[in-house]
């Protein structure tokens, strides 16, 4: 999702409420705050890294780290987080601006993150199980086939 689309979604979520701030610097600051909030709560696969030279935000599962997401500069920049989590970013952004529905937006963002984390934990557990089941000898040696499939 691009920064422009994120702003459009936030405008839609704020329909009938406060408007997005007019100053781009203020809006980018709020987007950065929303990105960091999501990155602190979500096990973002996009932000996971093993690199200790990355700008690390926190520890994640196993040996993984969660890096700091990059803040968009232009409307065409892609939001630096998993696509599914961009909707949580939009909800947090709306919660910071809303005069009437802040709690609703936070609750919706938290549900998105909870659902995402459940899927992520499942994926990581499945990968760990599959890694344990793989027999290294089978990967290194396989008998030559005597059949030709032409």
For position 149, what pLDDT does the model report?
46
Mean pLDDT of the chain: 89
From the list 29, 30, 10, 28, the residue with the least C-alpha distance to 19 is 10
Instruction: Say how far apart CA 109 and CA 84 lie, in whole Å.
Output: 11
For position 123, what pLDDT does the model report?
83
Average pLDDT over residues 32-47: 97
- For β-strands 56-59 and 48-49, DSSP reports them as unpaired
Question: What is the residue extent of each domain of the chain?
Answer: 3-133
pLDDT-wise least confident of 32-36, 65-69, 146-150: 146-150
For position 146, what pLDDT does the model report?
47
Cα-based distances in Å from 118 to 28, 42, 45, 84, 106: 29, 10, 12, 13, 18
Q: Residue 7, SS3?
A: helix
> Please, which pLDDT band fits residue 4 given cuts at 50, 70 and 90?
very high
pTM: predicted TM-score of the whole model, two decimal places: 0.84
Tell me the per-residue pLDDT of 88-119, one tens digit each, with 9 for 90 and over: 999 999 999 999 999 999 999 999 999 999 99
Tell me the per-residue pLDDT of 42-59, one tens digit each, with 9 for 90 and over: 999 999 999 989 999 999
């Amino acid at each position: 999702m691009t920064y422009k689309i994120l702003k459009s979604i936030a405008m839609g979520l704020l329909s009938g409420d406060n408007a997005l701030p007019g100053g781009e610097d203020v809006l980018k600051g709020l987007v950065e705050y929303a990105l960091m909030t999501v990155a602190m709560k979500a096990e973002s696969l996009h932000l996971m890294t093993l690199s200790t030279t990355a700008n690390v935000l926190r520890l994640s599962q196993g040996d993984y780290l969660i890096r700091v997401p990059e803040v968009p500069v232009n409307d065409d920049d892609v939001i630096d987080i998993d696509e599914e989590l961009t909707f949580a970013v939009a909800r947090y952004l709306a919660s910071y601006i809303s005069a009437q529905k802040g709690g609703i937006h936070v609750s919706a963002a938290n549900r998105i993150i909870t659902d995402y984390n459940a899927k992520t934990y499942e994926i990581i557990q499945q990968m760990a199980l599959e890694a344990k089941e793989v027999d290294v000898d089978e990967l290194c040696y396989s008998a030559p086939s005597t059949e030709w499939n032409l």
